Structure 1
Amino acid sequence: MGNVLNYLQRDPPPPMVLVPPLFDYPPLAARTRMLESSYDMLFGKLALKCLFEDYFESARHFNTRIMLKPIDDPNVDLVATVSGPLDHKPEETMVGNALFRWQRDVDDPNTFMDLFVSSSDPILRMRSCAYYPKYGFGAFAVFPYLLKERTSTEDFGVMGLRYGSANLSIGATLMPFSYDFPKSAWLVSRMGRLTTGVEYKPNFGIKDGANYYDLRNWNCAIAYGLGSTSPLSPSFNFALELARSSQMIASFYQHVVVQRRVKNPFEGNDIVGITNYIDFGFELETRIDGDEKSPNMRDSTFQVAASWQANKNFLLKGKVGPLSSSLALAFKSWWKPSFTFSISAVRDRLGSTVFGFGIRIEDLREPSYQRADPNYVLLTPNKEHLAEGILRKVGPTSVLQSSYVDSGNFEDLPRELRPIEKIL
């Protein structure tokens, strides 16, 4: 009887706001960013690439992706894809790929080795990367073992060295079976909210392609950014880039975290709202060398995209360009494994509409809803669905305040809500 009275006298759980996980975080491209030039990954380029491309399937095509991880060995995983046309055309065939990956630490994707097999070139390829965060140095290599035809020196392999810290990244890649040195080189520096960088990327297909004094072999960029890469932290990035002394590229990306009121019939009465993620991106490319026009390059082009994640199950994206507009809708079920179905529609300026479809099966993460106080935006790393269970098992004071997140302390957050890393 006393237990019943104690239960009735217990204070009701405080109001909570749902904090859903992102559909894809971190993106798959972030797992192999140590193989790429930092210049090609920073200045908002990785975020814009995901915004402009993810879930926008090719017109009249389907794409299937399966991502699995063994139960007894979380250091390895397998990603397999099958894509092809919806209408069987003789000139188009289905393409299948499989990627087997091993990484040294579950929480550190920068030291890994993967083996890629495909029905198209390259048929067999191995990539490896070793990075030592204590010293900041890393080395990587990409070797295509089986190709139908080797037409360039890059087809024989690429190797690279890099140094990375929180404020500096420098590195170079080379082709060991070629006299052209280097294949590319970069230097990127961060000073507060400003990020600047230069990249040397010669065009070996033209005469004197490796000339250091030719401005067509150089790219430079500057960006102003706020926030971190954590999904819970609003951020934006504005960048200007001069590419090969012939193109000016201006881009803008913003990630917004908002809370809206909601009445969820599957949750308790203490759930009064939900967190939404809104992303917006813009990119404009303009040619500035009016005397040397190329028939394969437009004088000016742009694209604008936005996405809205309403909860952990629904994602809506839209994209507008000079030639067409696209809309994508994705539904994700967080079963074991998770299942994602997406449909995209592309409408060109002539008025015709075509569709594309995508299916993803994933067993790489186990995220669930988090809980947050709606008044003070307090976050708790507990994954229980009942607020009463949170108070009973964790306690009313075991929470992380948003001021800690704003100051850059993400250690007590679940791994799915932390920034990717602090390596530039």
Structure 2
Amino acid sequence: MKVEVLNSTLVAPSEETPRTGLWLSNLDLAGHRSHKPLVYYYPAPTPGNKDGADFFSPDRLKAALARALVPFYPLAGRLHVDEGGRLQINCNGEGALFVVARADFTGEDLFQNYQPSPEVRRMFVPSASSSDDPLAVFQVTFLKCGGVVLGTGIHHMSMDGMGSFHFIQTWTGLARGLNISEACPLPPMHDRTLLRGRSPPHVDFDHLFYSPAYLTGLPRPYVTRVYSVSPKLLENLKSRCAQGVSTYGAITAHLWRCMCVARGLEPCSDTRLRVTANVRHRLRPPLPRHFSGNAILRDLVTIKVADILSQPLGFVADAIRKRVEDINDAYVRSVIDFVELELEKGSLQAAPGHLMPESDLWVVSWRGMHMYDADFGWGAPRFVVPAEMFGIGTAYVMQHSDKDDSIAVMFSLEPRYVECFEDVFYKG
């Protein structure tokens, strides 16, 4: 598979935007210090379809992008170290990177048995790794079949998943011809000082996830597979849990158990699940829903392998639920202060993925995200998927691309465990 870059340009905001240093919170600094690589696949329009005219015109997309960068002006800036040595965003209006490319293969070649990988990322998401690189990078790749892949990379320190999809919704709405108040009725709120630490900081809980002591894993090769959870399988999983269990809880409990079996973990050992919680509504007072910074907190659920395997599935799902429910204002403030102390010591480790111990699992839910609302005027995408996983033992739970009631689970695992995992996942 070959992708040829045709042109590359920086797109600046279409109007004057604030020129200032944007303070980053401890939750911004504790996240992944890299771009989140996603790919959106849009099949070729059917012959005679009036919506196919000027299909994915780069000029139309760039014009809309320039307008979207006005309310989302930090994405046109660059990472910068302030006078005190702390990272911030220099909102200088330099712009986002926009690349146009063409490929010598079809959408079916790539997406029939899609697997995220470093190669997919290299083909579709422009490279950006230094502090001088844009915080937002985009690439429109025209495929041999007439379809398009849009690759997006938004730096995780600039905003979390909710903020990113808010930006994409704004961009696509403007491309469809909406005015800015229609495309973005709730402008993003960029002030992160609402998440400033206390003075002096005080830590009231244990926060192993954010501690360097947690990094006990070693880099290992892995493969990624996509597993469908049919409505029938989901109903079966939920029936084995307490009434009202969430889809995420039931699927994650099942995934956790299958991982323990496939890896052959010792029953007397501990296994840990990384959970990710949106804390906007958990703070007092709550953050605005349109808060654009990182309002994501990560934590660990620890259970003995023997209990994962022998207790009812509902026991595991309930342990996940209780841990997430315990993340309240006091807990979030304690995390912020813990990170502050780690920053002062210079020992903060930003959200490791590939160094997880073999006993652990990280499951992120994208259900509820408006992923498939990304209509630039030529229809919704058929697939929205990560271009590359964060590392081994990570999983995404998301709505299946066919938009029925089924769920897709994207999971990265060591190759030698895949066959056993699949057997347990579907056959029990």
TM class by smaller structure: under 0.3
Larger Rg: 1
Relative to its length, the structure with more strand (as a share) is 1
Give the structure, 1 or 2, with the largest relative contact order (CA under 8 Å, sep 6 or more): 2
Relative to its length, the structure with more helix (as a share) is 2
TM-score using structure 2 length: 0.21
TM-score using structure 1 length: 0.21
